[in-house]
Copies of this chain bind each other. A is one copy, B any other.
């Protein structure tokens, strides 16, 4: 057990400044923030320049520092920092889901080899203790499925659309104005962010590790008012879910908008909130709900990781050690595909076609195909189609 945690903090953006304020506010015995490294000396910040260093080596080569908080945006730079920190036998806490999803195996193995902890509660659904709960409370349970509303931007946009169906472009501009969408919202609205989170949580839930290339991610860029009206009429909500389900055929995992019946608790999760629905063999259905983003809520998850290191906490990865489950994208799903142009629907070939329809100017069809085929067909086309999973 470390006698003293001496912290080097990379990044002073939303989460970095958040953890700075929390560590300043709470005086926790044996925890000391020593150095903050930021990239750009000229960027205006809420603290004076004297508090900052600009050289990664000021943390990485400081032998006093035994814990690195990696809280920068750039996934490639984050990877390089985390790797070096682990090589220097420093514990690492990170919130960078993209970096983790892309280098998971390498970094977790390196941490294990170096006998240090690599913790990342804040990387999945911000303040919600998803990873810790999967590790500690359900580590010996068999998870049957995990369904997560893990992207606040998508959920905010969909909530607003269900209040008032309107063109996507109008609502995303408004979301940006209110701070619920980035100036380039691609990672969020196309499901990438949710995919990175799904890859991380799946390893803890099922012991299955995927690369970002393995997993289909569908988003809401091309959702239309008529899609929303169609859902409302049939008593559905639409939520973008990270969906993972383990059955006899293996692990079925993808990110996609889904039609969900309005009696499901997930449909009560509104605006920027996140939630994870866990169906476990023993504990049965659980739901964790909370803030998935924001400076202080996300920093609270980083803080819980910091404190856990005082007790020498490290993930046990018990599922990865015991599970023989495998990813299987050959499983069939039922999907709804829509566009204003009927031609756009042609590239999608169903194994079983169930329904074709129109609504005002909208053309849609519902049918079944494998996740693998859907991924290939979706990625091969460039039309403005909206694709959502439809319940069986």
Chain A interface residues (CB < 8 Å from chain B): 22, 26, 28, 121, 127-129, 132-133, 136-141, 265, 268, 280, 282-291, 294, 296-297, 299-301, 303-304, 307-308, 311, 316
Contact = CB atoms under 8 A, between A and B. Distances in A.
Given A133-B133, A138-B300, A140-B304, 15 more contacts: A26-B140, A28-B140, A128-B286, A129-B133, A132-B133, A132-B137, A139-B304, A141-B304, A282-B303, A283-B297, A283-B301, A284-B291, A285-B291, A286-B289, A289-B289
Contacts of A283: 127, 290-291, 297, 300-301
A280 B291 CA distance: 11
Given A268-B268, A289-B265, A282 B22 contact: yes
Contact of A282 (B265, B286, B297): B297
A289 B28 CA distance: 30
A239 to B, nearest CB: 15
A208 B139 CA distance: 30
How many copies of this protein are present in the complex?
2
A316 B308 CA distance: 11
A301 B133 CA distance: 11
B26 A303 contact: no
Contacts of A301: 137, 283
22 contacts: A22-B282, A28-B140, A121-B137, A127-B283, A128-B286, A129-B136, A132-B133, A136-B136, A137-B301, A137-B304, A140-B303, A140-B307, A141-B303, A268-B268, A280-B300, A283-B297, A283-B301, A284-B291, A285-B290, A286-B290, A287-B290, A288-B289
A300 to B, nearest CB: 4
A284 B304 contact: no
B268 A307 contact: no
A129 B140 CA distance: 14
Among A28, A287, A294, A307, which residue has the most Cβ atoms of chain B within 10 A?
A: A287
Contacts of A265: 268, 289
Contact of A287 (B287, B296, B304): B287
A226 to B, nearest CB: 27
Contacts of A140: 22, 26, 28, 303-304, 307
